[in-house]
Amino acid sequence: LSESMAALITLASLWLWGHLDAEISVRDTERYKPVSLPVGPAKFTVKDVSVITCALKPEPSFLRCLESWLRNDPLEVIIVTTPPFLEIFNTLLATATFDISQVKVHVLPDDLRKGFRGQLVHAIRSAKGKLILRVDGHIMWGDKLIVNMAACFEDDTIGLAGGDMTVRIDNADATTITPWQVASTRRLAGGRPAQRNIYAAKKFRWGIGGGTVMYRASLYQNPEFEDEFLNDYWHNLGLGGRTLLDSGEDNFISRWAVRKGFVCASQTMPETTVTRVPKSKFVPWIMQMVRWERSTIQSFLRYTWEVPQIWQDPYLCRKMFIERLGRDIWFAIHLWAWFASFREYPLLTLLFFGYYIWKTVRGLVDFFRAHPHLPAKYWWAALTADWALNFLSPWVWLTLGVEEWHIGEEVAIVKK
């Protein structure tokens, strides 16, 4: 068996694998059903929910987002910031044209660790509700989000729940939209179908992003959680040293629920779909992608020993470890197969290549039809969003011990 023939068989096998997996995904999508509102008295009402957000400098859209949260009529909204930004928040809230009597602004106390995780622990401690709804400061909700998210917790096995997220471009004028807003929209368009489908198949979700996520308060309002959360180190895989983590808090919180025997629920429906502001500049966008990917890899690696029961399910092992963690290996195999098969079987190789080109073009056309406000001239940015991580991933693996944040569009905080 020549190398070219082996490569061609590999290409055909990978195509078949992808085709069968897509068919299974369609089946799981049809199987998925969000939780309906309870018919009788609910265990939790909107007045059992504390909304929390941790922020430094408020986003330009903060007041509009805050108003959307308050329209859901929660028990309270807690904003945790740091001393340099307290006056900024107080001044901004004084300009609100809606009732803010439910809003409380807290400052990170001196006895807690500095950084985002310290702010989040203080917010969770301060929350009075039986359910806690954590939200980022640039996220906008519909009016029925809380009541539909709380419905998940009628099931006592649910520890946290999240819906889908899409992009809101406040400068939605084709002359001012940037390529990286298009790229951000491409990354977030369609929500998280892979996780939703796995939830439909196995009632399992490995993580829920922190943009909007509801917690069962009792699961996190305890010293054990606080101690592990605030002393969460990444050991640099034999390269020496360790990094105290501040990012990746959403993955830790999701893993904590799974470790304690609870389920992370997918509540995907129009009422629970939120909108966020995308990055508009290249560096913040690419660094955000790197940070998200780094956090995901860290979390998946830690699932291997923190949640050993995961090994008992072949489907989850395939999805999480063979496909997701092994993505770079599969990408390298694809590249080898393309070049090796082309040497002796150029026509058949080009047929496969043509199929993937057709599939990519069809996906881009569907994307721009679904987002007509986006200029199609930035098709290359959407394509960059699809492929960037395949080439950035080696850098991500080499820098798993690096901590970095971007605040808004301008300020980078880097810690090693």
What pLDDT digit, counting tens, does each position of 217-234 carry? 999 999 999 999 999 999
- SS3 of residue 42 by DSSP: coil
pLDDT exceeds cutoff 70 at 36: yes
Output the six-digit token pair for 397.
Answer: 């693996």
The CA-based angle 374-380-384, given to 5 degrees, is 105
Give percent above pLDDT 70 in the chain.
94
What are residue 149's phi and psi, to 5 degrees?
-70, -40
C-alpha Rg value of the chain to the nearest Å: 22
pLDDT at position 45 is 96
The residues, any chain, with a CB within 8 Å of residue 56's CB and separated by 6 or more, are: 81, 82, 84, 85, 407
Confidence of residue 157 (pLDDT cuts 50, 70, 90): very high
Beta bridge partners of 103: 77
State the average pLDDT over residues 163-177.
80
Q: Is residue 174 over pLDDT 70?
A: no
pLDDT of residue 358: 95
Tokens of 168: 């809101």
Confidence at 260, pLDDT banded by 50, 70, 90: very high
DSSP assignment of 358-393, as one string? HHHHHHHHHHHHH-TTS-GGGHHHHHHHHHHHHHHH
- Reported as a pLDDT band with limits 50, 70 and 90, residue 237 is low
- What's the confidence (pLDDT) of residue 410? 46
Global model pTM greater than 0.95: no
pLDDT number for residue 349: 93
What is the distance between the alpha carbons of residues 142 and 149, in angstroms, rounded to a whole number?
A: 12
- Average pLDDT in the chain: 90
Question: Given its phi and psi angles, is residue 190 left (phi above 0), alpha (psi -120 to 50 degrees) or beta?
Answer: left
**What does the alpha-carbon distance between residue 77 and residue 105 come to, in Å, rounded to a whole number?**
8
pLDDT surpassing 60 at residue 33: yes
Lowest mean pLDDT across 84-93, 100-109, 172-181, 203-212: 172-181
* pLDDT at site 381: 96
**pLDDT of the residue at 412:** 42
pLDDT in the model for residue 98? 96
Q: Do 182 and 374 contact (CB within 8 A), yes or no?
A: yes
Confidence label for 414 from pLDDT (cuts 50, 70 and 90): very low
Residue 14: its pLDDT value, please? 93
Across residues 44-60, what is the average pLDDT? Answer: 95
DSSP 8-state class, residue 280: -
